Structure 1
């Protein structure tokens, strides 16, 4: 296999657990390059996908978590033609040859299904059809694989020779009933408070990449005791399925700030998500068309679908293909610290000025936490 837009190696790690050997990595970010160079020392690393002329011979699979900045609800929303996300066309350029790779595995954010009325998905699926690939995609939640992070991502599998439906479909555990918020830690974004919160019961909301300046944007967690804490960087790495300090080599790169590690983790592909795809590539399930209905041109993109040539079908399966043993958030965090008085006060100001509704008792807990932290910080005249 070859890993394009490899980041810190989430797709490659997960697929390697099921026998896929990486022959080549491609990544432009200096910090991510340092991580890949340290963690995959024997694998050639190319710095620029636009200058990569061809894939190694006998490449069977190409994995690509292509840039999401133009497709993310939290990003620029420039769409598939944006300067970052349009780089997916480099994947298509490299697999275009007659005897191209048998499999493609692509990962990205689910907002791409809605942005520009689905223009990004239409572009990707049209090109895949032109290249002779049948394709299937499914939005999955990282919590299904046991990690307490509510992280939904589009996983797409395409093949020239096989039925991709047998990889992504056929397993459906269904979303479990959410627990009582008062009994579990609940994650939220303390940097919000006016238009959104990212509330998650017994999980943190989706980890973000943070700013381009390397300023971290970790979530917060309200514990059942009423205390408010924030996960540490090592917690974030583990929430993505990586070993502790996986991104430590990034700070060795020239010009990379320590805070950039948060960006690398937030932009990474969940290792367990990739491992599930790797398992299913080797243990495919016979597909039944009973779970699908035809789609018409212009229909909104659903959470799961497949297509071949000019035909597209909606697949009726949930975001939870499996229910792996769940690691409760309360026992998961090992490096958390109390949310500072300044951060807590800023959140409360935004919350009180907006019209967002909050879970019962939540703002009381935030106010009590602020009191325990010394109250509103004084500002010098």
Structure 2
């Protein structure tokens, strides 16, 4: 396999567990490159995908978590033609030859289904149709694989020679009940408070790459005791399925600060998602569901497949499996108390907006601020 836009190697690490051997990686971020060099020392590493002339002969799978900054709801939303997300076309350039790879695996944010009334997906599926690929995609939630992070991502699988439907649609467990807000920790974003909260029961909301000005913005967790904590870097790595300190090599690069590790983690592909795809590629068992035609102009659903300009809705959930869940109260090992400054900033924003909060939440935030030294601190 080959990994394009490899980040810190989430796709590659998950697929490796099922027999895939990485021949080449491509990543432009210096910190991420340092991580890849340390964690995949035997693999050839390229810097710029636009200058990569070809992928190795005999490549069977190309994996690509292409940049999401122009597609993310939290990003610039410039669309699929944006300077970063438009790099998806480099994937199609590299697989265009007649004897291209059997499989193409693409990962990105679910907002790409909505952006520009589906223009990003129309662009990608049209390119795949032109290349002779049949394709399927499914929005999956990291919680399905046992991780206490509410993280939904689009996994798209395409092939010239195989049917991707049994791989992505052959298993469907449906969402599980994973917590009680009165008894379990609840995650939220302390950097919000005016228009949203990202509230998640027994989970943290989606880990992000950082704020618009490049400042790390980890979520916070309201514990049943009323204390407010934030996960540390090791917690964040584990929430993405990586080993502790996986991103530590990033700070060996001159000019790369510790906060950049948050960006690398937030932009990474969940290892357990990739592991599930690897397992399904090896054994794509299970009955596929009944499909219904997806008319042009209709919103893109949670899951769909297509070939030669035709598209069909797949009636599956975002939970393909229900792996044993790791409760958030037992998961965090590297947390620290939310600072008085961060707490006060949140309360100021909350006071300016009209957002409704869970019962007792604002009281807990105010009590936490008092314990941390109050407004003066």
TM-score, normalised via structure 1 length: 0.98
What CA distance in whole angstroms lies between the structure 1 residues aligned with 2:237 and 2:108?
19
What CA distance in whole angstroms lies between the structure 1 residues aligned with 2:286 and 2:16?
24
Deviation at 1:5, TM superposition (A): 0.1
Deviation at 1:213, TM superposition (A): 5.7
Residue 97 of structure 1 corresponds to which residue in structure 2? Answer: 97
SS in structure 2 at match of 1:154 = strand
Residue 298 of structure 2 corresponds to which residue in structure 1? Answer: 299
Within the alignment, does 1:31 sit opposite 2:31 as a pair?
Answer: yes
Deviation at 1:352, TM superposition (A): 1.2
Q: Cα distance 1:368–1:344, how it changes in 2: closer, same or farther (>3 A)?
A: same
Post-superposition CA distance 1:177-203 (Å, at most 9, x none): 353201000000000000010000000
Deviation at 1:170, TM superposition (A): 1.7
Deviation at 1:318, TM superposition (A): 0.4
What CA distance in whole angstroms lies between the structure 1 residues aligned with 2:265 and 2:312?
34
> Contact (CA 8 Å) 2:202, 2:327: kept in 1 or not?
yes
1:342-357 equivalence runs, <5 A: 342-357=341-356
Residue 259 of structure 1 corresponds to which residue in structure 2? Answer: 259
> Contact (CA 8 Å) 1:295, 1:313: kept in 2 or not?
yes
Residue 162 of structure 1 corresponds to which residue in structure 2? Answer: 162
Post-superposition CA distance 1:136-176 (Å, at most 9, x none): 00000000000000000000000000100011002111112
Residue 323 of structure 2 corresponds to which residue in structure 1? Answer: 324
Residue 2 of structure 1 corresponds to which residue in structure 2? Answer: 2
- Segment of structure 1 superposing worse, 347-356 or 203-212: 203-212
Post-superposition CA distance 1:300-341 (Å, at most 9, x none): 000100001111000110000000010000110001000011
Aligned residues: 377
Residue 58 of structure 1 corresponds to which residue in structure 2? Answer: 58
> Contact (CA 8 Å) 1:342, 1:377: kept in 2 or not?
no
Residue 72 of structure 1 corresponds to which residue in structure 2? Answer: 72
Residue 336 of structure 2 corresponds to which residue in structure 1? Answer: 337
1:144-293 equivalence runs, <5 A: 144-211=144-211, 214-290=214-290, 292-293=291-292
SS in structure 2 at match of 1:72 = coil
> Contact (CA 8 Å) 1:145, 1:272: kept in 2 or not?
yes
What CA distance in whole angstroms lies between the structure 2 residues aligned with 1:204 and 1:288?
32
Deviation at 1:91, TM superposition (A): 0.2
> Contact (CA 8 Å) 1:144, 1:321: kept in 2 or not?
yes
Deviation at 1:212, TM superposition (A): 6.5
Deviation at 1:285, TM superposition (A): 2.3
Deviation at 1:288, TM superposition (A): 3.3
SS in structure 1 at match of 2:156 = strand
Deviation at 1:371, TM superposition (A): 1.1
> Contact (CA 8 Å) 1:10, 1:271: kept in 2 or not?
yes
Within the alignment, does 1:371 sit opposite 2:370 as a pair?
Answer: yes
Runs of 4+ in 1 over 3 A off after TM superposition: 211-214, 286-289
- Segment of structure 1 superposing worse, 365-374 or 241-250: 365-374
Q: Cα distance 1:368–1:232, how it changes in 2: closer, same or farther (>3 A)?
A: same
What CA distance in whole angstroms lies between the structure 1 residues aligned with 2:3 and 2:180?
41
Deviation at 1:286, TM superposition (A): 4.9
> Contact (CA 8 Å) 1:208, 1:266: kept in 2 or not?
yes
TM-score, normalised via structure 2 length: 0.99
What CA distance in whole angstroms lies between the structure 1 residues aligned with 2:376 and 2:198?
26
What CA distance in whole angstroms lies between the structure 1 residues aligned with 2:155 and 2:25?
20
Q: Which runs of 5+ in 2 are unaligned?
A: none
Deviation at 1:214, TM superposition (A): 4.5
What CA distance in whole angstroms lies between the structure 2 residues aligned with 1:138 and 1:285?
17
Q: Cα distance 1:249–1:212, how it changes in 2: closer, same or farther (>3 A)?
A: farther
Residue 88 of structure 2 corresponds to which residue in structure 1? Answer: 88
> Contact (CA 8 Å) 1:211, 1:263: kept in 2 or not?
no
Residue 112 of structure 1 corresponds to which residue in structure 2? Answer: 112
SS in structure 2 at match of 1:198 = coil
What CA distance in whole angstroms lies between the structure 2 residues aligned with 1:214 and 1:17?
33
What CA distance in whole angstroms lies between the structure 1 residues aligned with 2:84 and 2:318?
27
Residue 314 of structure 2 corresponds to which residue in structure 1? Answer: 315
